[in-house]
């Protein structure tokens, strides 16, 4: 497919996801952030999606990136990591740009500590994939590709 005709999806990953493969392996597994990027690249290619991936440890940088997506992307897949449970600014940015959004979490946040039970960003998302590890990003891409 011509590059210009492809669906454009922005994938936003929040703080400490760059530490995959090092951080709390019992929860997040042995695979690294680089491994995740390779998987996303492969899945996006198979689904004819142009996926741009952004990771930041800074809330304001994530808000800035979401704002820049306005008018430029067909969808957003977001794992705000710890900001999921605290950031009304990210929720407001997602609402502001009015781009269809899907929330992903590697772990099942509903089965974890009480402070992880609330997802602010999730309130702006039409779809949610949690507790599936890397596969959650695959499901999110498939959802945007209309395969679900």
- Footprint on this chain of ligand DQA (rule: CB under 6 A): 16, 79, 81-82, 84, 105-107, 109, 116
Burial of 142 (C-beta count, 10 Å sphere; 0-12/13-18/19+): middle
* CB-nearer residue toward ligand DQA: 66 or 109: 109
* CB-nearer residue toward ligand DQA: 7 or 56: 56
| Tokens 């957003």 sit on residue | 76
CB of 81 to ligand DQA, least distance (A): 3
CB of 58 to ligand DQA, least distance (A): 14
- The count of residues in the chain is 148
CB of 105 to ligand DQA, least distance (A): 4
Which ranges of the chain would DSSP assign to H, the alpha helix? 25-28, 33-46, 59-68, 88-97, 135-144
* CB-nearer residue toward ligand DQA: 17 or 99: 17
> Of 28, 83, 120, 137, which residue is the catalytic one?
28
Can 105 be counted among the known catalytic residues?
Answer: yes
- Look at residues 8, 13, 120, 14 and name the one whose alpha carbon lies nearest to residue 70: 8
Show which residues are catalytic: 28, 105
């Amino acid at each position: 497919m011509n590059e210009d005709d492809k669906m454009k999806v922005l994938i936003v990953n929040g703080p400490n996801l760059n530490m995959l493969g090092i951080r709390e392996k019992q929860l997040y597994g042995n695979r690294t952030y680089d491994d995740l990027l390779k998987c996303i690249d492969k899945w996006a290619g198979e689904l004819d999606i142009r996926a741009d991936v952004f990771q930041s440890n800074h809330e304001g940088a994530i808000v800035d990136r979401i704002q820049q997506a306005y008018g430029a992307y067909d969808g957003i897949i977001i794992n705000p990591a710890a900001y999921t449970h605290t950031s009304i600014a990210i929720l407001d940015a997602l609402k502001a740009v009015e781009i269809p959004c899907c929330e992903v979490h590697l772990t099942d946040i509903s089965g974890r500590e009480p402070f992880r039970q609330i997802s602010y960003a999730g309130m702006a998302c039409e779809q949610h994939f949690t507790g599936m590890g890397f596969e959650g990003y695959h499901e999110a891409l498939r959802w945007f590709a209309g395969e679900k």
